[in-house]
Every structure is written in structure tokens, then in C-alpha cells.
Amino acid sequence: MPSKSSIKGDTNSFRLSWATILDEYKQALETAGKSPKTIEGYLQNTRRYFIFLETEVLIKPIHKLGKKELREYIEHLQSRTKWPDNPYIKEENRGALSPFTRLAYVRDIKTLWSWMYREGYVEENTLAHFQLPSVPENLPKIITPAQFATLLSHIDTSTPEVSKYRCILLILYDNGMRISELVMIRIYDIDFESKTIRVMGKGQRERLVPITVYTRKQILRYIDQVRTKICPKDSPYLFANRDGEHFSKNSVQQYMRRLLERSGFEVKFSPHVLRHSFATQYLANGGNVFYLKAILGHKSLTTTLRYIRTLPKDVQDQHMKYSPVAKLFRNRS
């Protein structure tokens, strides 16, 4: 493997240079304890950038790449559609990349440049002051409890396969766990006595997620009456496929799309919408924001606090109740 200095000055074989740097970057991420999924995301996003530069004949030695090339890439991302090479996604469902996806791509490229500068691959971080693309501050999309109940009513539980999906949706709406966390649940991760599920969240951070008595009952019913009919009994996963491997996120997402079509609702319905909906209703029902942070597995309280913005009426009611002016003049209005 070439030394860092030889990589930095390698102008004759640039393909080897960036490929080798990404190999070392992967090793650095692994030793830092990043999850395989996180590492693959970083590498995929940065690899796309270098491939774009080669395709558009914008490639240069790494130490000469800077803001101009990245701006060209952002323009390319603005014209790109989602899943361009996936034959299973209909053309009308593809659409443009979201501003948040474009932001993630550019942020990962800047992160790579910062790492290269710290490691000595480049003498100057040419992207240090590059401004990230702006994104709209959209409120999280949610569904109401009444809408969720209606969606459940459209589930025909006469077949084991569909009964499994009903259990999945209940768990997602009960505690807002991520779909990536749900599909990896093993039976021994569930403590039925304490009504908690042990999950592995982002950044390999393990946490306990609570479940209600009703959801616990539905999980037990699924295990006793449904699970052995659709997957091997000795599989460790709660939701396994016929080969005993954990269920796929895509299968859940596809089922939710079909369920939405049957219901006739014109709302967005996905695992992440259920996560947002749980968090919003948790706060609306009087839940503590610090407990919500722990349940959702947020690293920062700022992320959790955004759900307060989805409750304008509740915020107004709280203000009327607790404002010092309201208290001072309560009996004088």
C-alpha cells in the first residue's frame, strides 16, 4: 500500500489514489467504532463523488480538488432522480433527490476532506469553509391516532403473513423505534416481564425501548400463533423470513404502501412517519421530553425538541397555563 506522501503526490494514477484513500478511510472508521451501515454510507457517498468527477472529466489530483468541483457536483445532484437504476421503482415514484439527501452527500464529502487534512493526505482543507446546501425546516409528517386505527382496520389478519405486519406496525407506533432497529430484534432481546425491548441504535448505541401491555400481548400472540408458520422455529429473529434471516426493511415499506392504497388516505405513511407520529402524540399526551429522547435514542435533545413545533395548539395551551403574565393577571381579565 502506498505511503500517505506518495498518495498525496500521485498524479499519474489518480484512480489508485482515491481508491486507496477510501480504503484507509474505511479502516479509520472501523477502528473508531462506526457501524458497518454508517461506514458503507460514508464510502458510498464519497465514492459517488469521485466517479462523477471521472465521468465528467473533472478529475484532478486530490490536493487540487476544491469548491469549484463540489459546486458542479451539487448541480448534478439537483438534476438527479431517486433510485435511477432500480427496475422495481416506477418512474412516477422516483422524483428528485430531496434537499436532505443532497445535504447528506455534501456533508460526507466535507467530512472526508477534514479527515484527509488531519491525516496529512492534503496540505490544505480546500472545503473547510464550503457552505453546506440549505434545507427547508419542514415539520415532521405525522398521522393521527384515528388515522392509524383506520389503517389497522384495513389489515386482514386471517393470514399469518399479514398478522406479522400488524404486529410490526403496532411496535413502530407504540415506541417510535427505527425500522432498522425493529428488523434486527431477536426474541431474547424482549423482556416480557419488564415490558422492554433491547435494540441497537445509531452509532452502535444500545438502549431499552418500552412497550405497552397491549403491544406485549400482541407480540406474544404473534410468537405463539403466527411466527412458526412463516419462519424456522430456531431463527433468533422476531421477524424472520423463510430462510431464518431477519426481515427486510423494504418488505415493511412496500406493505405500508399497499395498505395506504387500500385505505384511500392521502397521507404519507412509512416507518419514519410512525416514528414522528409516536413522538408527537407522546408529547401531546403529556410525556416528558427527556424520557422521549431516551426512548427514541436521540443523541441530542435538540433533535427531540423539534417535535414540540408540530403541536401549535398544545404550545398555545401550555403558554396560557404557565406564562407569568397569565398567572399574574388570571383573575383580572
Q: Answer yes or no: is 247 within a domain.
A: yes
* pLDDT beyond 90 at 11: no
Q: Answer yes or no: is 50 within a domain.
A: yes
Are residues 191 and 173 in contact, defined by beta-carbon separation less than 8 angstroms?
Answer: no
* pLDDT beyond 60 at 1: no
Are residues 270 and 222 in contact, defined by beta-carbon separation less than 8 angstroms?
Answer: no
Does residue 28 share a domain with residue 113?
Answer: yes
Region of poorest pLDDT, from 12-16, 274-278, 312-316: 12-16
Does residue 174 share a domain with residue 78?
Answer: no
Does residue 302 share a domain with residue 167?
Answer: yes
Does residue 301 share a domain with residue 187?
Answer: yes
| Mean pLDDT, rounded, for 2-26 | 61
End position of a domain, from candidates 79, 101, 119: 119
| Mean pLDDT, rounded, for 276-302 | 88
Total domain count, the chain: 2
* pLDDT beyond 50 at 26: yes
Are residues 295 and 174 in contact, defined by beta-carbon separation less than 8 angstroms?
Answer: no
Q: What is the CATH number for 62?
A: 1.10.150
* pLDDT beyond 90 at 81: no
| Mean pLDDT, rounded, for 212-229 | 92
CA distances from 244 to 43, 52, 184, 237 (A): 29, 39, 12, 7
> Between 321 and 288, whose confidence is greater?
288
Half-sphere exposure of 136 (CA within 13 A, CB side): 5
Nearest 10 degrees: Cα torsion 280, 281, 282, 286: 110
Q: Of 147, 203, 139, 140, which is closest to residue 176 (Cα–Cα)?
A: 140
The per-residue pLDDT for 196 is: 92
Does residue 230 share a domain with residue 92?
Answer: no
Burial tier of 209 (Cβ tally within 10 Å: 0-12, 13-18, 19+): buried
End position of a domain, from candidates 53, 84, 119: 119
- The pTM score is 0.66
Does residue 55 share a domain with residue 176?
Answer: no
* pLDDT beyond 60 at 13: no
The per-residue pLDDT of the chain, averaged, comes to 83
The per-residue pLDDT for 154 is: 85
Does residue 16 share a domain with residue 60?
Answer: yes
Q: Answer yes or no: is 332 within a domain.
A: no
| Lookup: cell for 267 | 397521507
Are residues 221 and 238 in contact, defined by beta-carbon separation less than 8 angstroms?
Answer: no
Does residue 201 share a domain with residue 235?
Answer: yes
Q: What is the CATH number for 316?
A: 1.10.443.10
Domain that holds residue 183: 145-320
| Lookup: cell for 151 | 389503517
Q: Answer yes or no: is 328 within a domain.
A: no
Burial tier of 163 (Cβ tally within 10 Å: 0-12, 13-18, 19+): buried
- Read off the pLDDT of residues 27-78 as tens digits, 9 standing for 90 and up: 999 998 887 888 898 999 999 999 999 888 888 888 888 999 999 999 998 8
Q: Answer yes or no: is 64 within a domain.
A: yes
